């Protein structure tokens, strides 16, 4: 029994866009319980949306339907799709938003071509309300993936920055900055384990050099920078009770280097 | 069976105002399912609240109760009201917030004078918690509209800007700017159909002139301005993958002209 | 039967932090109905979180579980706790966030030491997902408070500013500024009743002097400052249809004086 439909968009909440989708869903699936994942994905930021999905969608109960609308190409030929990954279902535009999930998991996908599951007279600028929300409601109501349209073997992938590891260490990038100003890198703890092992390194971020990877923010005095493995399993840099983005002057996309030190 | 109570306010979410209303509702109607329409209506902006309601409330399932608190006149003689429009119910202040709905639909309204449906000792500054939330819960629980107080024949109306159509074309205004910076005008697609028909026009917005009404953002190259009929049925101006408000330097209230061109 | 789990955090909604907690809760307690109290508590602002909780948590139906994560000390020895106050349950860090409630009400508290109620391999930076959300779900599912860990006689308290009353009047401070720019002070209506009684006073706030405590915003002309007893029972200062923070140039922490006038 499906119980939950989640919503992830870049719509914000000051407009009617999210509530129109909720109305459409509840009109067709009045028993659905709606859970907002986020409506504060930065406008048209497919990468940020994919990051949020990757770190939360698979935690939900079996048969949850995830409606995802970060859709700068609405009305162009980008495909509307639905997919299943393990016991979770997803609906949204095929623009790379599902990349971080489909990189890691097998999936079954279809294009939403069956117009009997669309709202009549769909607009060309709001497929969230007119195509994706109805599809999410129909999935919730038990319509099979294969009924929505023809199978797709591939989905668009988004070109993610990949860290570079060599004999000198690891070079990566800041891929996300969270609400606290914490810098999240694309350097995973497993890559660190593999390349750095127990050797000593220095970490370079902006004009700051750190000597070790600590356990948590509070491992250093207040106001000091600290590197640690964050809750997504990636290397992060923060300021204990401060804002690393502001205090270190670092932006999304900035380079982070873990440099192996010569043993003397 | 009523299932859903929606909430629309200008309270934001950093204060206790929304959660106090939710506590009061759930204490009286524990089975109610709460759906946030928006708490990000700009402070005291009755027009923006009415616009969001108009474009989402009527999409909800029958018997939904909509609690609406954008209430700059709280504690003054403006009336607390409840109304029914088709199969939807509304509770809020009589300050014009329901205008865009009541212009379009018949309604039945009452003033919330029956104090047995208020919280005891209501404050003079938070009728959302003390008068409107309890009324929404009681409506949800099946109390009849007529039990809340005496019928009202009229509600306050809000003076909306109306576009001007003449032999030269249509002059309208930007009535809303959405989260993406898209400019939404008060020029409806039906007015355009009626006045412009298939004649050629130029559209003037700020210092920009557009030659046609396109299908969607992606009909023009990235970074270019585009006019199209938006999902609310109104003429809108956007920048493909950009922010029209910022890039065209246009504010809410700015004039938009559709000028008929002489056939040579 | 427990029905509701509320969430109060400083996480914002642009990251995966809130949705990861919701996924974890719903995976363990699929029948729980989630209600967001706020995710817009200013980052690491324990005092603001406590203020929001104090003014809304106790309004919820019996057996509501309140998950509270404003946790700048995550990963340090601050204790994870659960507590019961009357018929409400709370889970969160023992850092003073519950102070305003426990000052006013008796409570029963335990430390969350029983690791069988944690997620396996908890991170050191996201106890919200790995310790607190599971505890909230288990409380919802009927686990007894005493099963989570050893009883605590005391919780951390937060040093709140207390107003000073003497023969000249009352001196207090702005403890919160809401979304509208209204200034909320730590001067309660009961303290005013006791000290000021019906004597005449002048109220000093920034460079502004007010002669009386009015009923509501609308008691003064638009654009004028007004003092009144707000919906939390505290003295507040606002501008009718304006923003007192901006127009009076007053910040959180600013001094407010109610000075008794000599009778001539």
On chain C, the residues whose CB falls within 8 A of the CB of B5 are none
Q: What is the pLDDT of residues B52-81, one digit of tens each?
A: 999 999 999 999 999 999 998 887 788 999
Measured between CB atoms, does C42 come within 8 Å of chain B?
A: yes
Given the DSSP bridges, would you call strands A108-111 and C33-38 parallel, antiparallel or unpaired?
A: unpaired
Sign of the alpha-carbon dihedral angle for C108, C111, C117, C119: positive
Question: Two tokens at C134?
Answer: 């599971």
Torsion, CA B87, CA B91, CA B96, CA B102, rounded to 10: 10
Instruction: Note the pLDDT of residue B116.
Output: 96
Residue A92, judged by CB atoms within 10 A of its CB (0-12, 13-18, 19+), counts as: buried
Measured between CB atoms, does A59 come within 8 Å of chain C?
A: yes
pLDDT of C2 over the 90 cut: no
Three-state SS letters, chain A: CCCEEEEEECCCCCCCHHHHHHHHHHHHCCCCEEEEEECCCCCCCHHHHHHHHHCCHHHCCCCCEEEEECCCCCCCCCCEEEEEECCEEEEEECCCCCHHHHCCCCCEEEECCCHHHCCCCCCCCCHHHHHHHHHHHHHHCCCCHHHCCCEECCCCCCCCCCCEEECCEEEEEEEEECCCCCEEEEEEHHHHHHHCCCCCEEEEECCEEECCEECCHHHCCCCCEEEEECCCCEEEEEECCECHHHHHCCCCCCEEEEEECCCC
CB contact (8 A) between residue C14 and residue A179: yes
Note the pTM of the prediction, 2 decimals: 0.94
Three-point CA angle C107, C111, C116, nearest 5°: 130
Instruction: Note the pLDDT of residue C217.
Output: 83
Hunting for tokens 């430390």 — which residue is that?
Answer: C111
Task: Please give the ipTM for the structure prediction.
Answer: 0.93
Instruction: Note the pLDDT of residue B158.
Output: 82
Hunting for tokens 């967001």 — which residue is that?
Answer: C36
Q: Which chains reach chain A with 3 or more Cβ–Cβ distances below 8 angstroms?
A: B, C
pLDDT of C85 over the 90 cut: yes
pLDDT of A134 over the 80 cut: yes
Rounded Cα distance between B186 and B234, Å, is 6
Instruction: Note the pLDDT of residue B264.
Output: 58
Residue C223, judged by CB atoms within 10 A of its CB (0-12, 13-18, 19+), counts as: exposed
Q: Output DSSP code: residue C96.
A: S
Could you tell me which residues are beta bridge partners of residue B139?
none
Q: What is the pLDDT of residues C140-154, one digit of tens each?
A: 999 999 999 999 999
Instruction: Note the pLDDT of residue A39.
Output: 96
Residue scoring higher pLDDT (B198 or C111): C111
- The C-alpha of A238 sits at a distance from chain C's nearest C-alpha, in angstroms, of 11
Check: CB of residue B204 under 8 Å from CB of residue B257.
Answer: yes
- The C-alpha of A129 sits at a distance from chain B's nearest C-alpha, in angstroms, of 9
Q: Output DSSP code: residue B94.
A: S
Instruction: Note the pLDDT of residue A217.
Output: 83
- Alpha helices, DSSP H only, in chain B? 17-28, 46-54, 99-102, 127, 133-140, 189-195, 244-248
Rg (CA), chain A: 21
Q: Considering only alpha carbons, which residue of chain B is nearest residue C241?
A: B72
Instruction: Write out chain B's pLDDT in tens, 264 residues.
Output: 679 999 999 999 999 999 999 999 999 999 999 999 999 999 999 999 999 999 999 999 999 999 999 998 887 788 999 999 999 999 999 999 999 999 999 999 999 999 999 999 999 889 999 999 999 999 999 999 999 999 999 999 987 788 999 999 999 999 999 999 999 999 999 999 999 887 889 999 999 999 999 988 888 999 999 999 999 999 999 999 999 999 999 999 999 999 998 765
Instruction: Note the pLDDT of residue C196.
Output: 87
On chain B, the residues whose CB falls within 8 A of the CB of A24 are 59
Q: What is the pLDDT of residues A24-62, one digit of tens each?
A: 999 999 999 999 999 999 999 999 999 999 999 999 999
- State the pLDDT confidence band at A179, using cuts at 50, 70 and 90: very high
* All structural domains of chain A: 4-152 (3.40.50.10790), 164-260 (2.40.30.90)
Question: Two tokens at B186?
Answer: 């008060």
Rounded Cα distance between B223 and B217, Å, is 10
On chain C, the residues whose CB falls within 8 A of the CB of A176 are 15
Rg (CA), chain C: 21
pLDDT of C70 over the 80 cut: yes
User: For A101, phi and psi rounded to 5 degrees?
Assistant: -85, -45
Rounded Cα distance between C122 and C129, Å, is 8
Query: Could you say which of B19, B43, B125 has the minimum Cβ distance to residue C38?
Result: B19
Measured between CB atoms, does A35 come within 8 Å of chain B?
A: no
User: For A249, phi and psi rounded to 5 degrees?
Assistant: 60, 40
Question: Two tokens at C111?
Answer: 């430390």
Check: CB of residue B109 under 8 Å from CB of residue B97.
Answer: no
- State the pLDDT confidence band at C263, using cuts at 50, 70 and 90: low
Measured between CB atoms, does B14 come within 8 Å of chain A?
A: no
Residue B189 backbone class (left: φ over 0; alpha: ψ -120 to 50; beta: rest): alpha
- State the pLDDT confidence band at A77, using cuts at 50, 70 and 90: confident
Check: CB of residue B241 under 8 Å from CB of residue B217.
Answer: yes
On chain A, the residues whose CB falls within 8 A of the CB of B231 are 17, 20, 123, 125-126, 129-130
Neighbours of A211 (CB within 10 A): 11
Q: Among candidates C165, C169, C150, C180, which has minimal Cα distance to C209?
A: C169
Mean per-residue pLDDT for C8-12?
Answer: 96
CB contact (8 A) between residue A76 and residue B33: no
Check: CB of residue C64 under 8 Å from CB of residue C39.
Answer: no
Task: Give the distance, in angstroms, between the CA of residue A186 and the centroid of all CA atoms in the same chain.
Answer: 13
Q: Among candidates C90, C86, C8, which has minimal Cα distance to C51?
A: C8
Q: Among candidates A167, A183, A190, which has minimal Cα distance to A256?
A: A183
- The C-alpha of B72 sits at a distance from chain C's nearest C-alpha, in angstroms, of 6
Mean per-residue pLDDT for C2-20?
Answer: 95
- The C-alpha of B4 sits at a distance from chain A's nearest C-alpha, in angstroms, of 9
CB contact (8 A) between residue B179 and residue A11: yes
Measured between CB atoms, does B61 come within 8 Å of chain A?
A: yes
Mean per-residue pLDDT for C242-248?
Answer: 95
pLDDT of C229 over the 90 cut: yes
Question: Two tokens at A39?
Answer: 């409506």
Query: Could you say which of B10, B20, B124 has the minimum Cβ distance to residue C215?
Result: B124
pLDDT of A86 over the 80 cut: yes
Neighbours of B215 (CB within 10 A): 13
């Amino acid at each position: 029994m499906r119980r939950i439909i989640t919503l992830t968009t870049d719509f914000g909440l000051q407009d009617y866009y999210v509530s129109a989708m909720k109305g459409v869903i509840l009109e067709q699936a009045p028993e659905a319980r709606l859970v907002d994942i986020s409506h504060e994905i930065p406008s048209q930021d497919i990468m940020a949306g994919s990051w949020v999905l990757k770190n939360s969608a698979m935690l939900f109960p079996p048969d949850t339907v995830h409606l995802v609308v970060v859709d700068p190409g609405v009305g162009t030929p980008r495909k509307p799709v639905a997919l299943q990954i393990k016991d979770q279902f997803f609906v949204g535009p095929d623009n790379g938003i599902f990349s971080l999930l489909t990189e890691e998991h097998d999936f079954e996908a279809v294009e939403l071509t069956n117009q009997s599951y669309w709202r009549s007279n769909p607009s060309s600028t709001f497929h969230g309300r007119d195509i994706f929300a109805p599809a999410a409601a129909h999935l919730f109501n038990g319509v099979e993936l294969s009924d929505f349209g023809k199978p797709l073997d591939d989905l668009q992938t988004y070109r993610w920055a990949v860290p570079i590891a060599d004999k000198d260490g690891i070079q990566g990038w800041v891929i996300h900055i969270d609400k606290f100003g914490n810098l999240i890198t694309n350097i995973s703890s497993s890559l660190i384990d593999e390349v750095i092992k127990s050797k000593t390194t220095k970490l370079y971020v902006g004009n700051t050099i750190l000597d070790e990877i600590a356990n948590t923010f509070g491992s250093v005095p207040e106001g000091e920078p600290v590197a640690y493995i964050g809750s997504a399993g990636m290397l992060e840099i923060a300021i204990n009770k401060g804002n690393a983005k502001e205090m270190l002057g670092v932006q999304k996309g900035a380079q982070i280097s873990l440099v192996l030190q010569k043993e003397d």
